[in-house]
A and B are shown apart, each in its own frame.
Chain A
Amino acid sequence: MAMLLGYELIKKIPPTLHTPLMSGTNAISGIVIIGSILVITSSSSLTVNILGFISLVLSSINVFGGFTVTDRMLEMFKKPKKRDKD
Chain B
Amino acid sequence: MDSIHIILYFISSILFILGIKMLNSPLTARRGNIISFLGMIIAIITTLSYVEYEISSIIYIFSGITTGGILGLIFAKKVQMTSMPQMVAIFNGLGGLASSLIAFSEIIKVNNTISFNLISVSILMSILIGSVTFSGSITGFLKLQSLITGKPILIPLRNYFNLLILLSAIGLMIVSVLYSGNTLIFYTLLGVCLLLGILIVLPIGGADMPVVIALLNSYSGIVAAFTGFIFSNVALIISGSLIGASGLILTRIMTKAMNRSLVNVVLGGFGATATNIDSEASDKNYKSGSSDDIASLLEYSENIIIIPGYGLAVAQAQHSLKELLDVLENQQKNVLFAIHPVAGRMPGHMNVLLAEANIDYELLLDLDQVNEKFSQTDVSIVIGANDVVNPAAKLDKNSPIYGMPILEVEKSKSIVVLKRSMNPGFAGLDNNIFYNEKTLMLFGDAKDSIDSLNKSFKELN
Which A positions have Cβ atoms within 8 angstroms of B?
Answer: 2-7, 9-45, 47-49, 51-80, 83-85
| CB–CB A36/B98 < 8 A | yes
The B366-393 residues at the A interface (CB cut-off 8 A) are 366
| Chain B residue at minimum C-beta to C-beta distance from A2 | B241
Interface residues on B, range: 35 or more
Q: A34-B236, A39-B105 are in contact. Are A57 and B64 (CB under 8 A)?
A: yes
User: What separation, in Å, do the CA atoms of A62 and B94 have in the docked complex?
Assistant: 7
Given contacts A48-B105, A74-B30, 4 further A-B contacts (CB under 8 A): A28-B221, A28-B243, A55-B99, A68-B73
Q: A52-B102, A55-B97 are in contact. Are A31 and B240 (CB under 8 A)?
A: yes
| CB–CB A60/B84 < 8 A | no
| Chain A residue at minimum C-beta to C-beta distance from B39 | A28
Q: A6-B242, A65-B76, A76-B356 are in contact. Are A22 and B213 (CB under 8 A)?
A: yes
**A54 shortest CB reach to chain B, Å:** 6
Contacting residues, chain B, for A42 (C-beta < 8 A): 51, 109
**B422 shortest CB reach to chain A, Å:** 30
| CB–CB B238/A56 < 8 A | no
User: What separation, in Å, do the CA atoms of A69 and B74 have in the docked complex?
Assistant: 10
> Which of the 9-residue segments B345-353, B397-405, B429-437, B442-450 touches chain A?
B345-353
User: How many pairs of A and B residues are in contact by the CB < 8 Å rule?
Assistant: 353
User: What separation, in Å, do the CA atoms of A76 and B98 have in the docked complex?
Assistant: 31
Q: A17-B351, A38-B51, A39-B102 are in contact. Are A63 and B108 (CB under 8 A)?
A: no
User: What separation, in Å, do the CA atoms of A76 and B238 have in the docked complex?
Assistant: 30
| CB–CB B60/A56 < 8 A | yes
Chain B positions 213 through 253: 1 when the CB is less than 8 Å from some CB of chain A, otherwise 0? 11001001101100110110101101111111111111001
| CB–CB A6/B36 < 8 A | no
Contacting residues, chain A, for B91 (C-beta < 8 A): 23, 26-27, 30, 61-62, 65-66
Of all A-B residue pairs in the complex, the 10 with the closest CB atoms, nearest first, are: A60-B68, A65-B72, A6-B245, A18-B348, A56-B64, A2-B241, A18-B347, A68-B76, A64-B72, A55-B101
Binding site of B, secondary structure by majority: helix, strand, loop or mixed?
helix
Whether B142 is near chain A, meaning CB under 8 Å from some CB there, is no
Q: A45-B108, A60-B65, A84-B329 are in contact. Are A79 and B27 (CB under 8 A)?
A: yes
Contacting residues, chain A, for B276 (C-beta < 8 A): none
| CB–CB B24/A12 < 8 A | yes
Q: Which of A18, A34, A49, A75 contacts B30 (CB 8 A)?
A: A75
Q: Which of B67, B75, B364 contacts A16 (CB 8 A)?
A: B364
Whether B164 is near chain A, meaning CB under 8 Å from some CB there, is no
Contacting residues, chain B, for A4 (C-beta < 8 A): 245
| Chain A residue at minimum C-beta to C-beta distance from B102 | A35
| Chain A residue at minimum C-beta to C-beta distance from B70 | A64
Whether B155 is near chain A, meaning CB under 8 Å from some CB there, is no
Contacting residues, chain A, for B347 (C-beta < 8 A): 15, 18-19, 21-22
| CB–CB B64/A36 < 8 A | yes
| CB–CB B23/A28 < 8 A | no
| CB–CB B355/A73 < 8 A | yes
> Which of the 9-residue segments B14-22, B192-200, B258-266, B298-306 touches chain A?
B14-22
Contacting residues, chain B, for A7 (C-beta < 8 A): 245, 249
Whether B40 is near chain A, meaning CB under 8 Å from some CB there, is yes
| CB–CB A60/B69 < 8 A | yes
Whether B79 is near chain A, meaning CB under 8 Å from some CB there, is yes
User: What separation, in Å, do the CA atoms of A7 and B241 have in the docked complex?
Assistant: 12
The B398-457 residues at the A interface (CB cut-off 8 A) are none
| CB–CB A37/B98 < 8 A | no
**B238 shortest CB reach to chain A, Å:** 7
Contacting residues, chain A, for B69 (C-beta < 8 A): 60-61, 63-64
User: What separation, in Å, do the CA atoms of A61 and B105 have in the docked complex?
Assistant: 20
User: What separation, in Å, do the CA atoms of A25 and B349 have in the docked complex?
Assistant: 15
